[in-house]
Structure 1
Amino acid sequence: MSRLAKVVELVLRVALGLIFVVFAVFKLIDPQAFVQDVANFQISPFSDAPWDMCLAYSLPGLEIIAGLCLIFRFLYRGALVVIGGMVLTFIIAIGYVWSIGLNINCGCAGEYDLLGGYASHITALGVMLAAVVYLAIDELFSGKPVEE
């Protein structure tokens, strides 16, 4: 692997991991507000179901664990799969609420709305997905053995 490729891998890995860790911390500042943000997506077909609360309380922990694993290359391939899955899920969820005309705070950064509207959210998530794909391809073709 060239020196430039190593630098790109390091920058993408750390940046993506930090985004997930920092945004998770923002969500933990006011977990009840994040529960409401999740409920606003109206994805659960059941009214007053505990699914929104379960998701809102478990997602920040998953984001922190996956982000730290990505940063420190611990269980790296699993972290890439989890983060890639979360990014795809976020794209689908935001695309869904955008398509049905809901005007909600996505809750990405807790009470802080850092990205503006839906188009900028989808763009940012697309960039993150591209970073995950790059890191996954780099990992798969690096010739490194699978972690045990």
Structure 2
Amino acid sequence: MKDAKRRKGFSFVEILISIILVGLSITALVIASNSFTQANAAGADISTAEFLIEQIRERTALMSFADIAAMGDATHTPPIDAQGTPLTALASFSQQVSVAYVNQNDFTTEAVSPTDFLRVTVTVALNGRPISSAGWIRTRY
């Protein structure tokens, strides 16, 4: 009976183990929450970059072939929308636009002389670090 009286509570070692387990669980939740927040921020940056690429695509869709060819290479900081209006709220982003004539038999090869095909490439960077890039072919006809 004496042994039964002494075993009514938790031992000091059992309490320490439970505190350690609770502490590890809380630490794991904080680390997971931080990881989710970072992944969410990266997703938002990629979405913004894709939006900015689409703005240049819309802008070139409204331009003639000759105007696109004359555009040359340009960097827009802050980025611009389809009408050319600066998007000052996105000042940490930039759009680098590259325009090149391409070989009509191989769109990956730049042409030595003007052709009927242009490759427009847009790279969006956040604080100077490239986030996303896309390109498309525009034809004279």
Q: TM-score range by the shorter chain?
A: under 0.3
**Greater strand fraction, Structure 1 or Structure 2:** 2
Q: Higher helix fraction: Structure 1 or Structure 2?
A: 1
Query: Which structure's relative contact order is higher, taking Cα pairs within 8 Å and 6+ residues apart?
Result: 1
Greater C-alpha radius of gyration? 2
TM-score, normalisation: structure 1? 0.26
Q: What is the TM-score normalised by the length of structure 2?
A: 0.27
